[in-house]
Amino acid sequence: MTEKILITGALGQIGTELTVRLSEIYGKENVIASGLDKWKEGITEAGYYERLDVTNFQAVTDIIKEHNITTVYHLASLLSGTSEKQPLFAWKLNLDPLIHLCELAKEGTLKKIFWPSSIAVFGKGIPKENVGQEVVLNPTTVYGISKMAGEKWCEYYFEKYGVDIRSIRYPGLISWKAPAGGGTTDYAVEIFYEAVEKGKYTSFISENTAMPMLYMDDAIDATIKLMTAPKEQVKIRYSYNLGGMSFTPKELAAEIQKTIPDFEIKYEPDFRQAIADSWPASIDDSAAKQDWGLDYKFDISSMSIDMINNLRKKLG
Ligand code: AKB
């Protein structure tokens, strides 16, 4: 039986690109993108779009039943920076709809769920480099706490009810098609826009703070790989580490200067510096490589060239 897919948060950074890729794989008629923007309702280039507020459980259940959805990519979430500004709403949005979907899967209405976790689950007091899959989690942000709790719920529904839920701890994601929104790693996206448009950028993260990052093409490939892997290969049911590449704002600026030699960078760290300081600098993702064949095509050089070339075309 073909999968019938619902994507929540489809207008966000990951959703914008994942919707297109899933439509190519499963056919537009089998993919429903959803989000809060009601003006996009109807058939779009990527597939069918419906307005859906994921905190409205009845609406979520109705859309899943009406379209015989088998698989949900549940991307709707508030990121780290925004979550600090609206902590109680972040908790409600990041957790309750996930548990509702797990309940639907438990009763057999759904077959499979993808849920994104984040490197924000780590936290203070653990080594910075090459952080492993099994370290003790100690998040200090609302976002990190919500992702840690969500991971435990994923594992619980798998262990107790056999719910086929799969998850990735994404590092910072870099892409040119849709803007990032409200995250601590967003500087690594903004820097490219400003480099191409203005030739200069003021970073809200300090020059020597390294964080793990991933180019969106590799993030989408990894997500599809995990979701299409045979069930028995998915041994970790809380969430898989993904490391991608690691660099500091200073290293990224130097990379951009290879293509835009006059590019200038300044540093004015804001409240997100403390969040970045609590996160790992690099991640060990050997479990994902071993279990379902994670691999990457992009490094800092090829990613930077691709970003600049595409943004030059996009921004004119
Ligand atoms: C953020 O910065 O909040 C996100 C993340 C690492 O989960 N990009």
pLDDT digits (tens, 9 = 90+) for 31-72: 999 999 887 777 777 779 999 999 999 999 999 999 999 999
* Whether the Cβ atoms of residue 169 and residue 242 lie closer than 8 Å to each other: yes
Instruction: Determine what percent of the chain falls in helix, strand and coil, rounding each to the nearest 5.
Output: 45, 20, 35
Ligand 1 geometric centre to CA of 156 (Å): 24
**Which candidate, 193, 67, 59, places its Cα nearest to that of 76?**
59
Residues of the chain with pLDDT under 70: 1
* Per-residue pLDDT, 124: 87
* Per-residue pLDDT, 7: 97
**Which candidate, 129, 237, 218, 239, places its Cα nearest to that of 172?**
218
* Per-residue pLDDT, 43: 74
Ligand 1 geometric centre to CA of 215 (Å): 13
Alpha carbon distance 78, 209 (integer Å): 23
Task: Judge if the beta carbon of residue 23 lies within 6 A of ligand 1.
Answer: no
* Per-residue pLDDT, 41: 78
Run of H or E including 21:
helix 13-26
Task: Judge if the beta carbon of residue 201 lies within 6 A of ligand 1.
Answer: no
* Per-residue pLDDT, 191: 98
Nearest CA to ligand 1 atom 4: 183
* Per-residue pLDDT, 1: 59
Task: Judge if the beta carbon of residue 76 lies within 6 A of ligand 1.
Answer: no
In sequence order, which residues have a C-beta less than 8 Å from that of residue 134 and are 6 or more positions away? none
Ligand 1 geometric centre to CA of 68 (Å): 32
Task: Judge if the beta carbon of residue 184 lies within 6 A of ligand 1.
Answer: yes
Task: Judge if the beta carbon of residue 170 lies within 6 A of ligand 1.
Answer: yes
* Per-residue pLDDT, 2: 84
Ligand 1 geometric centre to CA of 151 (Å): 16
26 a catalytic residue: no
pTM of structure: 0.96
